[in-house]
Structure 1
Amino acid sequence: MLKEKILKVQLRTKEPLRIGGKKDPLSGADNPVTKIGGKLVVPGSSLKGVLRNALEQYLIDTYCQNGRWKDGYEHFKPCIPGAELSEDEKKLVSAGKYRDQNGTCRYPCTDRSCGNNRSHSICPVCYLLGSMGLNGFVKAPFLYADTTATELYSSRMDRATKTIAHGTNRPYELVPDGTVFEGTLTVLLEDTVLGWKLGEPRNLGETRTLGDKWLEGKKVDEKAQEDFIKTYITDRLKAIKVIGGYKSKGFGAVEISVS
């Protein structure tokens, strides 16, 4: 049997959000708003992406000081979700902010992916949002708005003539500030078949993993689960203040409430 908690998520734009980016609406946080059947939508992948970033930031700010993780909190270090790391991401790994495991958490660990012939634990972020090969406890929703898009023109100034450069006066769509998006986020509290319980380590069958080491020995009651949800889900959603691109042009500021 599944025991779940439903959270109503409301995202209000404080600045315009640009519609567009990649053609695939499920492609991630660089496409924060798209249209589906004519409706304005913040895809679940976009919300999940910014929630992941907020969780990573919280863990690093709370448990890491000068590249060193507090004693007993080494397994709280997040991974970088991706098959290949950029040079800048490798620097973050070298600085001790992220895990040195060649990308995202995987279940089970494989020599080809993880390297160094060793297994890794699953980081707190992947515990909640899912890792490669293993589901998490949070299902991010699509957020819908009952608002129409607005069109805006963007152009480049010709430095020599001081006029709009030829062919650069192009329109793009945006969501106006004050727009409200709503949806319901689902949190798995317990799966009695698998024996999973939010806030406790999972009983995983594979030997090629260290599992949920960051929760080793933890047992939770209803009150402890509520505190866990507040710390790692509700408060982290509320901490999200910006989504999407074009930030330098006055886009992206949002306010999220959860009930």
Structure 2
Amino acid sequence: MFERFESLTVIRAFLRMETPLAVGARAALEPTGTELPVIKDPGGLPFIPGSSLKGVVRSHAERLLRAVDRRPELWACDPMGDPCIPEDLKRKLVEDASAGGAFNDQRFTSEVLSGSCTACRLFGSPWLAGRLAFKDAPLHEIPPGSLVQIRDGVAIDRDLGTVRGGLKYDFEVVIPGTVFRIEIIAENLTDEELGLLLTALRFWEEGFLPLGGKRARGIGWGRLEIREVEQIQASRLVDYLIRGEKRQRSVEELREAFARRYLSGA
């Protein structure tokens, strides 16, 4: 998957929050700070961790893949309950690759890759490195006024459905209208695989993909705006290394490539 450079694609986008956003840190550093602060960079500005972005996109992509489920090329396993490479299959693959006394890494990788679901081949698994990387998303645009707000919350007794006494807390949110800069790095993806990713992102463009915590309370909803898709290809690698030339790709053309390859006749 990575032993040879084939392409590197950068998807750049902006995420404009339409409701408050709560992506929390573990604890406040200030002695009198809120109990659930938003995560901030060393300069004290909120950002969205790349791991949070990747988790949301992967979870949504897996839902779409399960809805389509056109095996063996287009599907998603249940990594927590029924992984595509269970332990007994992993042991068998290791034994097969070790036949003759020497471990054949190339053979093992090939067999794991062929047995893995689409989501694991893109986002990674315990046996495969992911080919998608999500950068931490810094602030791009800040609306007037205070950047964060403090909100009150109460714990609910799940058995009684009522407020549990003495369990009031507060939490911090980033205000609506804040814009974050998103970058997704894709290595050695085909046009069809890029189209799958961009198709999954369409829900975020429509504002249907919440992010962070407290989502049941209407927090974390925003719209993604894809600005550009730039690609460095192996066939044009010298042009990039010498002159920095990159190819601009069309979002709709890539989505169409995915649809033609996998969804025609569905």
Say whether the fold is shared (TM-score over 0.5). Answer: yes
Shift of 1:144: 1.1
Please list every run of at least 4 consecutive aligned residues from structure 1 whose deviation after the TM superposition is greater than 4 angstroms.
99-103, 164-169
Q: Calculate percent identity across the aligned residue pairs.
A: 23
Match of 1:182 in 2: 181
Whole-Å Cα distance in 1 between the matches of residues 127 and 86 of structure 2?
16
Whole-Å Cα distance in 2 between the matches of residues 56 and 156 of structure 1?
31
Whole-Å Cα distance in 2 between the matches of residues 100 and 177 of structure 1?
40
Do the aligned partners of residues 22 and 238 (structure 1) sit closer, same or farther apart at CA in structure 2, a change above 3 Å counting?
A: farther
| Equivalence map 1:9-48=2 (5 Å) | 9-20=13-24, 22=26, 34-37=39-42, 38-48=44-54
Unaligned ranges ≥5, structure 1:
24-30, 64-69, 94-98, 104-108, 158-163, 190-197, 200-224
Match of 2:75 in 1: 77
Q: Contact 2:23–2:213 (CA<8 Å) still a contact in 1?
A: no
Match of 2:65 in 1: 59
Q: Contact 2:75–2:119 (CA<8 Å) still a contact in 1?
A: no
Q: Contact 1:19–1:172 (CA<8 Å) still a contact in 2?
A: no
Match of 2:169 in 1: 170
Do the aligned partners of residues 113 and 242 (structure 1) sit closer, same or farther apart at CA in structure 2, a change above 3 Å counting?
A: farther
Do the aligned partners of residues 19 and 6 (structure 1) sit closer, same or farther apart at CA in structure 2, a change above 3 Å counting?
A: closer
Whole-Å Cα distance in 2 between the matches of residues 78 and 237 of structure 1?
17
Q: TM-score, normalised by structure 2?
A: 0.57
Match of 2:219 in 1: 251
CA displacement 1:122-158 (0-9 Å, x = unmatched): 211121122224323211111112542221223479x
Q: Contact 1:238–1:257 (CA<8 Å) still a contact in 2?
A: no
Q: TM-score, normalised by structure 1?
A: 0.58
Whole-Å Cα distance in 1 between the matches of residues 17 and 93 of structure 2?
39
Whole-Å Cα distance in 1 between the matches of residues 126 and 153 of structure 2?
40
| Equivalence map 1:1-259=2 (5 Å) | 1=5, 3-20=7-24, 22=26, 34-37=39-42, 38-63=44-69, 70=70, 73-81=71-79, 85=80, 90=81, 99=83, 101-102=85-86, 110-111=90-91, 121-145=115-139, 146-147=141-142, 148-155=147-154, 167-189=166-188, 198-199=189-190, 225=191, 227-229=192-194, 231-240=195-204, 241-259=209-227
Q: Contact 2:58–2:123 (CA<8 Å) still a contact in 1?
A: yes
Whole-Å Cα distance in 2 between the matches of residues 173 and 112 of structure 1?
49
Task: Give the number of the structure whose residues are more often helix, by fraction.
Answer: 2
Q: Secondary structure at the match of 1:39?
A: coil
Do the aligned partners of residues 59 and 156 (structure 1) sit closer, same or farther apart at CA in structure 2, a change above 3 Å counting?
A: closer
Do the aligned partners of residues 124 and 187 (structure 1) sit closer, same or farther apart at CA in structure 2, a change above 3 Å counting?
A: same
Q: Contact 2:152–2:170 (CA<8 Å) still a contact in 1?
A: yes
Do the aligned partners of residues 129 and 156 (structure 1) sit closer, same or farther apart at CA in structure 2, a change above 3 Å counting?
A: closer
CA radius of gyration, larger in? 2
Q: Contact 1:102–1:113 (CA<8 Å) still a contact in 2?
A: no
CA RMSD of aligned residues (A): 3.6
Do the aligned partners of residues 113 and 78 (structure 1) sit closer, same or farther apart at CA in structure 2, a change above 3 Å counting?
A: farther
Do the aligned partners of residues 75 and 149 (structure 1) sit closer, same or farther apart at CA in structure 2, a change above 3 Å counting?
A: same
